[in-house]
Structure 1
Amino acid sequence: MSDTTAGRYAEVNGINLYYETHGSGRPMMLLHGGLGSGDMFAPILPTLAARRQVILVDLQGHGRTADIDRPIDIALMADDIAALIDHLGLDRPDVVGYSLGGGVALQTAVRHPEKVGRLVSASAHVRTDAIPAEMREQQGQVSAAAAEFMKDTPMYQTYVKVAPRPEDFPRLLDKIGESMAHDFDLTEEVRGLQVPTLIVAGDADMAPPSHYVEVFKLLDGGLRDGGWMGEGRPKGGHALAILPGLTHYNLFASPLFAAVTLAFVDPEETSWES
């Protein structure tokens, strides 16, 4: 495939997954955050698609992809992405994700390393306790009961505009809330990553910069001087980007996010890889 195509659906892994393709070149899967859709990347999509073929996916229950009878679970959604890669006949595309999509992207690389070229995981903490207790308490309050109060939010208005079943919004809130209520620790999964990985966060993200430095250390990063020729950089070609002036709620639309993503996924144009 090349150039922009209208949205399509793929029957993969038991779900009718919506995706669009934009641009041409080596493929990049782009995965959105929770309660969003691929549309949230509109501010940076032209920049990415000018260099790469971008496959923009709406994850389970989000955007134009209808929900199915299973939990919102990043491991299950990672299997959706792996199945879509096979369906499209892609050869090890890069997988880029933000927030919920960052977790899905990471799990895709963990569970299906042979299908992934490079991984960019943005604003996706890897342990429950990485975010403040008050934030976890707020997440625990996400449920269908909040649907009425969210009707004036951009998230709800975008959802009802494109969702196959707009009445499913309360159900999505229930599932997202249930998903966030579970403790998790992906430390060992991160430590075992087999594909070059870029960890990205805003300097005022949901989890502090120190957490993402810890994640980078799991990938052999930040443990020694990099050396004049980059000989001391992480052995797997991993990298870390803490982006200035950004939060969890605007990083996905930032030109800085687009810039560091393109620099990392096109290593022939950078000196990041040792």
Structure 2
Amino acid sequence: MSTEWTAQSSGTGEYAEVNGINLYYETHGTGRPMILLHGGLGSGEMFGPILPTFAENHQVIAVDLQGHGRTADIDRPLDIRLMADDIAALVDHLGLDRPDVVGYSLGGGIALHTAAKYPGKVRRLVATSAHVRRDAIPAEMLAQQGQVNAAAAEFMKDTPMYELYQRVAPRPEDFGRLLDKIGAAMAQDFDYSEEVRGLQVPTLIAAADADMAPPSHYVDVFKLLDGGLRDGGWMGEGRPKGGHALAILPGLTHYNIHDSPLWAATVLAFLDAQP
């Protein structure tokens, strides 16, 4: 089947049975494979405006994560570590040879854990707008996250997230269940600094200059990767040893970076750079 994302780009949609979940994904373009992971309450369609740019020279595999988009929920928590296992299983299912993994927000955390746990399955990693400590975001944002539950569904009926879910989800009535699970996941404390420090694949940490967490947090994440600790040198000899990079993109927020042409260009510049 085909699903229209934008006037310029359509993808072929299929399901893969992995880890007990019927995972939906769409394939766009040809070339070196790139797995693309969306943010919470969204789906692969979030990337519609920039998919043609990514798909021009890459085989883009846009996944609908557990309980999102066209992938029905299963009886387990929304845990990014478990969803990382899903992505690793999808890599095996599709027979991909070390694809690049690009994720935004929730998808950025999943991408990070996929690369951390399965370094042999990932060529390069892009983690965008994905803070690695719960306390990195302001207290007022944590308070808002604490209000995410099924009771909020009634107040979200005019939002793009609700409209998308009602249009494509296998069980549209599960939107409240998804809110409950996302709220429970966001309520858990976390610190993934050690996972970041142990990354073995070249990694781009990207964020908006007005993201959910401040730019200083993403600088701290870059420091965990040996970045920003010394002068880079005339020949780049002082850059991080693992080929890591940092991008703080101007004029963007957490809520529009994922379909920004500037973000797409930055991601491609990193993925297509010579090792």
User: Normalised by the size of structure 2, how large is the TM-score?
Assistant: 0.96
Could you tell me which of 74, 85, 89 is aligned with 1:79?
A: 85
Partner residue of 1:115?
121
TM-aligned CA deviation for residue 14 of structure 1 = 0.9
TM-aligned CA deviation for residue 4 of structure 1 = 6.5
| Equivalenced residues, count | 267
For 1:151 and 1:5, locate their aligned partners in 2 and report how far apart those are by CA, in whole Å.
27
- Kept in 1: contact 2:12–2:28 (CA 8 A): no
- Kept in 2: contact 1:4–1:23 (CA 8 A): no
Partner residue of 1:35?
41
- Kept in 1: contact 2:11–2:28 (CA 8 A): yes
Partner residue of 1:232?
238
Matched position secondary structure for 1:200: strand
**1:25 paired to 2:19:** no
Q: Within 5 Å, which residues of 2 pair with 1:1-274?
A: 5-268=11-274
For 1:98 and 1:154, locate their aligned partners in 2 and report how far apart those are by CA, in whole Å.
17
TM-aligned CA deviation for residue 61 of structure 1 = 0.2
For 1:4 and 1:119, locate their aligned partners in 2 and report how far apart those are by CA, in whole Å.
25
For 1:6 and 1:249, locate their aligned partners in 2 and report how far apart those are by CA, in whole Å.
26
Matched position secondary structure for 2:207: strand
In structure 2, give the amino acid aligned to 1:217: K
- Kept in 2: contact 1:120–1:198 (CA 8 A): yes
Matched position secondary structure for 2:49: coil
For 2:40 and 2:135, locate their aligned partners in 1 and report how far apart those are by CA, in whole Å.
19
Change in CA separation of 1:206 and 1:5 when aligned onto 2, cut-off 3 Å = closer
Provide, for residues 163-200 of structure 1, a one-character-per-residue CA deviation record: whole Å limited to 9, x for no partner: 00000000000000000000000011100001000000
Matched position secondary structure for 1:267: coil
In structure 2, give the amino acid aligned to 1:86: D
Change in CA separation of 1:250 and 1:4 when aligned onto 2, cut-off 3 Å = closer
Identity of aligned residues (%): 80
- Kept in 1: contact 2:37–2:102 (CA 8 A): yes
In structure 2, give the amino acid aligned to 1:21: T
TM-aligned CA deviation for residue 5 of structure 1 = 4.8
Matched position secondary structure for 1:230: coil
For 2:126 and 2:158, locate their aligned partners in 1 and report how far apart those are by CA, in whole Å.
32
Gapped regions of structure 2 (runs ≥ 5): 1-8
Provide, for residues 71-113 of structure 1, a one-character-per-residue CA deviation record: whole Å limited to 9, x for no partner: 0010000000000000000000000000000000000001111
Matched position secondary structure for 1:62: coil
For 1:110 and 1:136, locate their aligned partners in 2 and report how far apart those are by CA, in whole Å.
26
Provide, for residues 22-74 of structure 1, a one-character-per-residue CA deviation record: whole Å limited to 9, x for no partner: 00000000000000000000010000000211000000000000000000010
For 1:19 and 1:85, locate their aligned partners in 2 and report how far apart those are by CA, in whole Å.
12
For 1:115 and 1:128, locate their aligned partners in 2 and report how far apart those are by CA, in whole Å.
27
